[in-house]
Structure 1
Amino acid sequence: MEEPWVLDAYDVAFLAGGAQRVVESAMIALSDCGLLKLSGPRVRAVGAVGEALPQHPVECALIASCPRSRSAASVLAVLQRSPEVQEIARRLAARSLVTGSRRRLTRLGRRQLRAAERGEGLPDYVFGGPAVLPDGLVRRGVVSARPVPSGLGRALIRMGKALDHDSDSGSGSGSGSDSDAGSGGAFSCGGGSGSH
């Protein structure tokens, strides 16, 4: 019979929030022990004298990625795709806790995550991310590292430009919105114009 596999904090973080949660958890853990300094949107490794170096590969990769001050967002983006984080994903997929390609939780993965939540010994941020931290420099630094979804932002910018263009071309030309009714080539907010 195979010995049960024990999940470490970063395995559980991956189950709770994917690669982003793994890196966020490492940022928080290293900040808590004084090996990482988060100030605003910047992060840098600081060597505390007499402190032991981190032992987990993700923590080592994080320390190595920012010997000088760097954007926390760029560190987060790079480390999410790092071999260390991808190895966690491969290991969890091999244990059938996440799917192979999209890294979604399987039924077994959800059971393992619930068991870890019921257990003790893991910090709350492993499960809930920086939202569970008290307001302060660490929380603000990790939250500022999160990328803004670009798809919605780009769509809103395009929509704003289109509205600006429509209002500029419509003024003074004598063509109101009524003149385009029935052209059929534009988007419509109303119901259909034909009878069914």
Structure 2
Amino acid sequence: MRMYFRRATTAVAGRRALGVYDVAYLAGGARRVVECAMIALAEGGLLRLRASRVQAVDGELPEHPVERALITACLRSRGAAAVCAELRESPEVEEIGERLAEWGLVTRARHLPTRVGRQRLQTAEEDGSLPDYVFGGPEVLPKGTVQRSVTEAQLVPSTLGRTLIRMGKALEHDSDHFDSGFGCGGGGGGSD
């Protein structure tokens, strides 16, 4: 009975229509979804990327929930890395992963593509109807502000900055108590 259920689920997953962000999730997880949303909105003129900053441009809110969440997150100028980290963990992006897991296209635990998910990804790539950056990320874009901004925004893990700040404060705190009066140099040589 279990095999029948698995086959039925796989057959249903094979027939479901996938949107651009579903395919992006299969290609690179939550990170690729955020990259694709940033690129699409920047190319559509709804998002301005400048170096490490991102800001929404006045205009209509997009229809897709991920794009709306991105626009809402940067109504005023913000650091692109912070916006990306926030969006990767947003309910809108998590919903895509949960839906794909429900359809049997990604694993439940780590949301990695299943065999059927990889087949659907390959089919979508061969179809050629989606932009190359959905499959290859910002690295496939021509060199420029959008490519550089999106790539750099994704380099730092979301919690790394806070961890480094805590480590710095801890080291600073420890050095206050460690000052024993000895310097680093000079001193003590031998006698003739």
- Which band: TM-score by shorter chain? 0.7 to 0.9
Shift of 1:101: 1.3
Residue 103 of structure 1 aligns with an amino acid whose one-letter code is: H
Q: Does 1:30 align with 2:41?
A: yes
Shift of 1:120: 2.2
Q: 1:47 to 1:172 in 2, by over 3 A?
A: same
Q: What is residue 113 of structure 1 aligned with on the other side?
A: 121
Q: What is residue 15 of structure 1 aligned with on the other side?
A: 26
1:126 corresponds to which of 106, 126, 134: 134
* Ranges in structure 2 where 5+ consecutive residues have no aligned partner: 1-10, 168-182
2:105 corresponds to which of 97, 102, 113: 97
1:135 corresponds to which of 133, 139, 143: 143
Q: 1:46 to 1:114 in 2, by over 3 A?
A: same
Q: 1:101 to 1:134 in 2, by over 3 A?
A: same
Residue 80 of structure 1 aligns with an amino acid whose one-letter code is: R
In structure 2, the residue corresponding to 1:104 is in which secondary structure? coil
Query: Which 4+ stretches in 1 moved above 4 angstroms?
Result: 171-174
Residue 86 of structure 2 aligns with an amino acid whose one-letter code is: V
What percentage of residue pairs aligned between the two structures are identical? 55
In structure 1, the residue corresponding to 2:15 is in which secondary structure? coil
Q: What is residue 81 of structure 1 aligned with on the other side?
A: 89
Distance (whole Å) between structure 1 residues aligned to residue 44 and residue 132 of structure 2: 16
In structure 1, the residue corresponding to 2:24 is in which secondary structure? helix
Q: 1:46 to 1:4 in 2, by over 3 A?
A: same
In structure 1, the residue corresponding to 2:48 is in which secondary structure? strand
Q: Is the 8 A contact 2:61 2:71 kept in 1?
A: no
Stretch moving more, 1-10 or 94-103: 1-10
Distance (whole Å) between structure 1 residues aligned to residue 120 and residue 98 of structure 2: 16
| Matched length | 160
Higher helix share: 2
Stretch moving more, 138-147 or 70-79: 138-147
Q: 1:172 to 1:14 in 2, by over 3 A?
A: farther
Q: What is residue 64 of structure 2 aligned with on the other side?
A: 56
* Ranges in structure 1 where 5+ consecutive residues have no aligned partner: 158-167, 175-196
Residue 78 of structure 2 aligns with an amino acid whose one-letter code is: R
Shift of 1:65: 0.4
Residue 152 of structure 2 aligns with an amino acid whose one-letter code is: S
Q: What is residue 68 of structure 1 aligned with on the other side?
A: 76
Distance (whole Å) between structure 1 residues aligned to residue 145 and residue 188 of structure 2: 54
Shift of 1:105: 1.0
Distance (whole Å) between structure 1 residues aligned to residue 115 and residue 188 of structure 2: 61
Q: Is the 8 A contact 2:97 2:111 kept in 1?
A: yes
